[in-house]
Amino acid sequence: MKKVGIAAQLYLTAVLLLTGCQNSFFNQAKSQELAQPPEPNIAWKGKSATTVPTSSCWQYENEGHCIDKAAPPEIIGEIKPKPLQVNPGAVLSVTFTAPPEENSLRVTQWIGTKQIEQLLENGNQWKAPDQPGWYLFDVRGQWSQGDAGHAFVIEVRDTLRMSPL
Give the pLDDT band (50/70/90) at residue 25.
very low
57-72 pLDDT, tens digit per residue, is: 999 999 999 999 999 9
- Please tell me whether residues 92 and 117 are part of one structural domain: yes
- Please tell me whether residues 27 and 74 are part of one structural domain: no
Q: Residue 160: pLDDT above 70?
A: no
Enter the pTM of the model: 0.77
- CB atoms < 10 A from the CB of 83, how many? 18
- Please tell me whether residues 44 and 27 are part of one structural domain: no
Q: How many domains is the chain partitioned into structurally? A: 2
- Please tell me whether residues 81 and 113 are part of one structural domain: yes
The closest of 136, 144, 143, 146 to 67, measured between CA atoms, is 146
The closest of 39, 44, 54 to 156, measured between CA atoms, is 44
Query: Residues 27, 31, 37, 43: what is their CA dihedral angle, to the nearest 10 degrees?
Result: -140
Domain span holding position 20: 1-32
Q: In DSSP terms, which residues pair with 94 in a beta bridge?
A: 42
CATH at residue 64: 2.60.40
Give the pLDDT band (50/70/90) at residue 159.
confident
